[in-house]
Amino acid sequence: MPRYRLTIEYDGTPFVGWQVQPDGVSVQGALESAITKLTGEQVGIRGAGRTDSGVHARGQVAHFDLEKEWPADKIRDGLNYYLKPLPVVILEARPAPDDFDARFSATARHYLYRILTRRAPPALERHRVWWIPRAIDADAMRDAASVLVGRHDFTTFRAAACQAKSPLRTLDRLDVTREGDEIRVYASARSFLHNQVRSMVGSLRLVGDGRWTRDDLAHALEARDRTACGPVAPASGLYLMAVDYPPSPGNPEQTA
């Protein structure tokens, strides 16, 4: 049974999230429907990250199996045809080894969070950034972010409904940069807890506002208490940028 790997880009605004829900259109559901229309087969598709409603992706990865072998380019082009007019496209389709799993084979996930800091609201970037109508201190945010890097108990920064068995995670990168009116927060780890990135960004915003210090952020982490977290940043500014995998024969690159 041939297995295929997809790299996917989508605007999360109209979706209830990646995962199929009882009500509303999900990215997973849209993809499974398109696969059925293209191939005549009903399949389940597994994604590398279960993005929430309103979260976007530039490099989501998923896999699925078919009974019949298809050329990868025909899968890419056919799915893009049947996905219209939804804002989701297949950037790449390729054969994958039988043991490849988009979720469990991943070695790292990379997220970007975008904050627009200017008086005027966004027009072209509406639903794609967190708009804060005043300047905030990106340097202070960058300095404070370093206290979260490493292996920690991130109970403070995960959703109350998070289903992960352990709150322990190793955060490999949390960096803050400014480009004009935009502040960008980059986060990388093998895996994240539910709402972890948005929770960390929301707390960093308090640092940028001058309401928290670096020590306040450290104390929030040490509290291991969800109530110690700052307000969770909105979904609209978050992007799943890329997912890394171990190299495989004939596929030396690691990043989707």
Domain boundaries, the chain: 3-105, 108-241
Give dist(CA 191, CA 48) in Å, integer: 10
The domain over range 3-105 is classified in CATH as 3.30.70.580: yes
The pLDDT value recorded for residue 31 is: 98
Statement: 108-241 belongs to CATH 2.60.40.10: no
Given a cut of 70, is residue 249 above it in pLDDT? Answer: no
Give the residue-averaged pLDDT of 167-184.
97
Among all chains, which residue has been given the structure tokens 């978050």? Answer: 238
Catalytic sites, residue numbers: 52
Over residues 111-159, the pLDDT tens digits come to 999 999 999 999 999 999 999 999 999 999 999 999 999 999 999 999 9
Q: How sure is the predictor about 163, in pLDDT bands with cuts at 50, 70 and 90? A: confident
Q: Tell me the per-residue pLDDT of 19-59, one tens digit each, with 9 for 90 and over.
A: 998 889 999 999 999 999 999 999 999 999 999 999 999 99
Looking at every residue in the chain, the average pLDDT score rounds to 95
- In this chain, the answer to whether the domains covering 3-105 and 108-241 adopt an identical fold is yes
